[in-house]
Structure 1
């Protein structure tokens, strides 16, 4: 294209209030996943990134896994390396909130920029297929008899499955401080420990255990939802007589120091992604419940979660 033709083309697009086609470039996003591969955050983050690219809202998505301390290690790296970057995202959720309450992280989530909540999910408790404990009542009976003999496996200390185990102990008259909880850095490690019989009971979102339950390698014995999950034949803790109702959720934060315009653009990108068929397919495949919440509403929700989980953990003897 000759220079005069190029300039005329620019003038046409400018007059129309649109950008020239060759000027439209989707960003390359960088996503910090503060957990090891194969867990809930990893699965969620990569599914969202895939949907972003298929929706042509991102040219590429680069992932970095940094597990440990309920996401606090990845959070610290994100805070220190991504400041002011409008194309950086951090996966997070209820597990990180719980971990920050119990831990002593030098950085706080409030240093970053709230973007959106994505999904909600409840914890399911499972036992290895060969376990002599067939039901949650069997687990509770063993817990009452010898609390230390029941090894609970799941995410980092302060995760929703850890809180749920402490809630159950308190509900059945066992000192929550005697709960023998084994924390893992990622869902893959927890699954291996359960399948290997190295823990008595495992806890996590249903999606992390679904294929193993379907294959008969794990037996689901309770879910922390208020009502049974659609299409999943697992009794709730509550219907079994244990007042343990606790939800898990996952969301995204942006880098520290974003302007209002940068935050709005990143939020818009994420919300648009959640409407794409690729993301809807991921929800169905993993049994996630869509729970999109953005802007000030999401910021207020996270503040409430810190207050609510802190109260639950205190009552459960974890603080």
Structure 2
């Protein structure tokens, strides 16, 4: 197998991991004003992801770095054509990270409310824009013969991309609600489970519409298979959520995100960014890649360090595996 194909697959794996892990982080942030009725409950919700959220973002950093090194032409075109959406995502992620670190620095309800708004907004914006971005990559964008993006921001806000944004938003919210039901105990656990049940219907409807639209447009056999598997995983989550079997529900929603992202990458291959212009030129794994020597060096580096990263992150999840209750959170001055 050519190293270009290997690295395309590895980048797909990194994005699958990012959506799986950061997906429930975003979901917790989205549900903060819904499930957090007082300060102790909001702190409890934040503490469920407190030890792991920054580690989950490593997957995004590695995915971006791998794209830059393995497919520099893809990286350049992507970050120039999608500049404003990606900038908004970056700003949102920075504000969310600052909010986690600073909301408890001053004992003031007004101070905490402002940072809570940053957590909510910092979760909402990426939840929508990641779906919009990936939908446009799969759909294709106007690239000329020099692989330069010739569209505008409105070009990216087409119906298919907006459906993609709503799909990721609904799936992240469901994934986050299931995670909270799995990670907490007591009243919060019951409320999160009930909310997860209410979120299943819109998540199933939006995901089914998006995956069906994608495959009817591209007619890829492997894409159809993975989309069907993603749909089956999401449907399996429904009875698990209903029965309050949080572990199986979390596995099902996680599998849905992984399989859906895999379906998009399989449908995209061998392109990395197709063009919609008649006289344009698509970016492929061949014409967008680095030199064979660069890819070979990257492969050795990845083989050495990937097990270390996976081992450390698995260990951190194991250490912080216990459920949390409101009683574990000391009372704060209001």
What TM-score range do you get, normalising by the shorter chain? under 0.3
Which structure has the larger Rg? 1
Structure with the higher fraction of residues in strand conformation: 1
Normalised to the residue count of structure 2, the TM-score between the two structures is 0.24
Normalised to the residue count of structure 1, the TM-score between the two structures is 0.25
Structure with the higher fraction of residues in helix conformation: 2
